[in-house]
Amino acid sequence: MSRIKKENILLLGAIFAPLILIGYFLFKPLFYTATSDDPQYDLLFSARSYSEQGPDGITSYTFKAKGQRLSLIAHEAKEGEKVYATSDIFLFRFDAKTQKVVSIPFDATLPKKELTAHSWVIDIPEIEDYVLTLKKIAPDGYKYARQRHSRMVLFDLFDTATPTPIIKKDGRRIVIPIDSRRFSNIRFHGWILRK
């Protein structure tokens, strides 16, 4: 093989190898989207808003799973502790069919039953009949995870990374559309097996 042919082959390889790699990384997500089934189970999660703290005398709200049910526990503030408003905490359902986030309303002023002298269970009627699995992996194979992405502030001088909730399966990633600039402390509570 002549020297000119070898140089041409090397030149073609140097040009097309990066293009093939770029094409692979661009089309890989499309391949996984086409070959993976759509999610079948809704996801239940909560988040806290970045808004101001409130004066309702509650130091914390905790979602607790008992068996396959979820309940909200409120803890009364002791002297000197920070307090939160009920408007600061939100419960959401990620609808698998529409791939949208649906807010689940609840009234934290209506206690269901007292646990101790300083804590009580809050009734959330909309999720009363939900049957959950607390495993991170749903029966259809989708897994809840967090994906960190950065928001470059002032040309990457002050880089801030925020976790975005996603569900993934076999390389396919579906971003849960919640504004991570408005909500923090996003917590997974389970996959809804039955409503």
One domain, residues 130 and 183:
yes
**pLDDT at residue 167, rounded to an integer:** 92
One domain, residues 76 and 135:
yes
One domain, residues 79 and 159:
yes
One domain, residues 50 and 22:
no
C-alpha 19: how far from chain center: 34
Number of domains in the chain: 2
Q: Is the pLDDT of residue 144 over 90?
A: yes
Contacts of 63 (CB under 8 A, 6+ apart): 46, 70, 71, 72, 73, 91, 187, 189
> Is there a contact between 46 and 91 (Cβ–Cβ < 8 Å)?
yes
Distance (Å, rounded) from C-alpha 56 to C-alpha 70?
23
- Give the full edge-to-edge strand order of the sheet including 42-49: 100-104, 89-95, 42-49, 183-194, 131-133
> Vertex 153, ends 151 and 154: CA angle to 5°?
150
Name the residue range of residue 67's domain: 42-194
Confidence band (pLDDT; 50, 70, 90) for 100?
very high
Q: What b/e sequence results for 133-144 when a residue is b if at least 16 CB atoms lie within 10 Å of its CB, and e otherwise?
A: eeeeebeeebeb
> Vertex 141, ends 43 and 130: CA angle to 5°?
30
State the amino acid at position 44 in one-letter form.
L
One domain, residues 107 and 189:
yes
Give me the mean pLDDT over the 116-138 stretch. 82
* Tokens representing residue 59 in the block: 């130091």
**pLDDT at residue 123, rounded to an integer:** 75
pTM confidence score: 0.70
Give me the mean pLDDT over the 58-85 stretch. 68
One domain, residues 51 and 129:
yes
Distance (Å, rounded) from C-alpha 29 to C-alpha 140?
19
Element (H, E) at 43: strand 42-49
Residue % of the chain over a pLDDT of 70: 70
One domain, residues 31 and 61:
no
One domain, residues 79 and 151:
yes
